[in-house]
Chain A
Amino acid sequence: VKLVIAIVRPEKVNDVLEALYNAEVRGFSITRVQGHGGELDRVETYRGTTVKMGLEDKLRYEIAVSDEFVEPTIEALCEGARTGEVGDGKIFVLPLERAVRIRTGESDHDAVTPVGA
């Protein structure tokens, strides 16, 4: 069981959702985060104050998947989130010590397998 963390552009959220759905990855959560990934800084001006926006809005997906789903998940994330410009985001895959489904108490592989799959 792995934990896949992906940081993507907020405007690509629907494309990513669609791609994950098509890859039959059904369980995940998202958080709004801010970060910096080497893209050019945005300059904004408010009256006399000019600022360089060092942080961009991003979305962070957390997806716990069984081992055989790691590759399809990564492919779906890349497909949904890629624009080809700097700032498309990153995917991190981490080993997951344990996963538990609260409703049933199932562990690990069973816990991250969608109901009815």
Chain B
Amino acid sequence: MTGLPLISAAAEVDSGDTAWMLAATALVIMMTPALGLFYAGLVRAKSTLNTFMMCLAALAVATVAWAAIGYSIAFDGDGSIIGGLGHAFMNDVTFLPRDGTTIPHLVFFAFQASFCIVTVALVSGAVVERMRFGAFLVFAGLWSVLVYAVLAHWAFGGGWLQANGTLDFAGGIPVEMGSGFSALAAALVVGARRDYGRQALLPHNAVYVLLGAGLLWFGWFGFNGGSGFSTGNAGVLAFTNTLLAPACTLVVWFVLDLIRGRHVTAIGAATAVIVGCVGITPAGGFVSPGWAMALGALAALPSYAIIVWRPRTRVDETLDVLAAHGIAGFTGILFIGFFAQKSWNDVGDGLLYGDAGQLGWQALAAIAAPLYAFGMTFALLKLIGLVMPLRASLREEAVGMDVTQHGEEAYATGEGALLIKPDSDAELPVANPV
């Protein structure tokens, strides 16, 4: 008799579940460049590349940090605040199924990594057009461990919220509230753009914004649909709810736009898609399709209000991560406490179906996660600011972040560009001299 009973107690890898989770992971990975497109369209032309590069930076830095330590902090052991170091440097992450799932641990790791990456990229929306790229790289690596991994442990990895029964299907706590309230802190520490409040700073390409939002919605079917880690009922419910909720958000947003400005706006619609997807993220596998539609409609209201109000303040939380993610995630987390339905999710009921206690745990998560995200991000950026400047100089900001941070332009014409021969020290122009 060896360890056989132990082995047979573990679930086996299911090929169907694994196939879907591989595809879902790839869908979520695509959300990060999609977010880059969405964000790049919302900034001025001279900051297009820098904005996109912050999202690509998340794919670089957050992935490395996740493999090194973030995953372990989030998903090793069941400590109440943080996990252990048992999976540091992907130790013991193998072909064997992850506990409680029927997919290989490697796939589970990659799927969770894609969440960490996109969340780091989301936070960049608060500091575009003025944060130094180098400082952002440092911030991205540290934030993914100190904020994202900790919140992911609370919600998904056996931490205190999950252990007490808080329900979060696909990341309302670590991804949406985590990014949204961190974004507010980041905007406060880094400070507003020099022209903020003095000039109209307009989106330079609305088509990028629409295309980015569309690709994000597409990716979100993997994000929510994959969060059941199987092809079972929860994932299927979340998948369909990811279609229904944002559609309702769009309809309500159209009406709000009509009332406010007598036009239905394209950038407003792109924003509504995000808000709807965010709202249904925590609730996707827990509420009925009917309640998902109600949630989509409801989520539009607070986020719309914040988006209208925020630019009147002095807080240059540039791309409204707080409104679109923090507030919509907050709405979704609380919504579960009222409308979760055991007959649909096999897990628990909300207040309306007889369990008032669920609402309490949802409310606690909706207070604790924003406080932690805001406080930790604020402190982290203050500390980084002691070591290196967080901001580009006013001059660099005025000329544009693409040229000053990357030495490239998004819309280079080549007019007046003189070739520098790579193999000569002398800078002899080979094109026509000016």
Contacts and interface: CB of A to CB of B under 8 A. Distances in A.
Contact of B417 (A14, A36, A52): A52
A55 B416 contact: yes
A43 interface: yes
Given A14-B198, A46-B408, A46-B412, A54 B418 contact: yes
B422 A48 contact: yes
A22 B418 CA distance: 41
B416 A53 contact: yes
Interface in B393-434: 395, 398-400, 403, 407-409, 412, 414-420, 422, 427, 429, 434
B199 interface: yes
A96 interface: no
A98 interface: no
B418 to A, nearest CB: 5
A44 B399 contact: no
B346 interface: no
B417 A53 contact: yes
Contacts of B409: 44
A44 B416 contact: no
B14 interface: no
Given A48-B422, A49-B419, A83-B395, A54 B403 contact: no
Which of B399, B416, B422 lies at the interface centre, i.e. has the most chain A CB atoms within 10 A of its CB? B416
A31 interface: no
A99 B97 CA distance: 83
A95 B199 CA distance: 34
Nearest to A45: B407
Given A14-B195, A50-B422, A85 B417 contact: no
A42 interface: yes
Contact of A52 (B195, B415, B420): B420
Interface residues of B, number: 23
A6 B408 CA distance: 28
A44 B417 contact: yes
Interface in A58-97: 83, 85
A106 interface: no
B398 A11 contact: yes
A42 B427 CA distance: 13
Which of B408, B420, B422, B427 lies at the interface centre, i.e. has the most chain A CB atoms within 10 A of its CB? B420
> Which range contains the number of A residues in contact with the other chain?
20 to 34
A9 B195 CA distance: 15
Contact of B420 (A9, A51, A55): A51
Interface in B294-314: none
Contacts of A107: none
Given A54-B434, A85-B395, A44 B418 contact: no
Interface in B277-330: none
B430 to A, nearest CB: 10
Given A50-B420, A52-B417, A54-B434, A44 B407 contact: yes
A44 B403 contact: yes
Contacts of B420: 43, 50-52
A54 to B, nearest CB: 4
Which of A43, A48, A52 lies at the interface centre, i.e. has the most chain B CB atoms within 10 A of its CB? A52
A11 B408 contact: no
B416 A36 contact: yes
A32 to B, nearest CB: 12
Contact of B408 (A9, A45, A48, A54): A45
Contacts of A49: 419
B136 to A, nearest CB: 20
Nearest to B432: A54
27 contacts: A9-B398, A11-B399, A11-B400, A12-B398, A14-B195, A14-B198, A36-B416, A42-B403, A43-B420, A44-B412, A44-B417, A45-B407, A46-B408, A46-B412, A50-B420, A51-B414, A51-B417, A51-B420, A52-B417, A52-B418, A52-B420, A52-B427, A53-B416, A53-B418, A55-B415, A55-B434, A85-B395
Interface of A: 9, 11-12, 14, 34, 36, 41-46, 48-55, 83, 85
- Top 8 nearest A-B pairs by Cβ distance? A55-B416, A11-B398, A51-B417, A54-B416, A52-B418, A50-B420, A54-B434, A44-B407
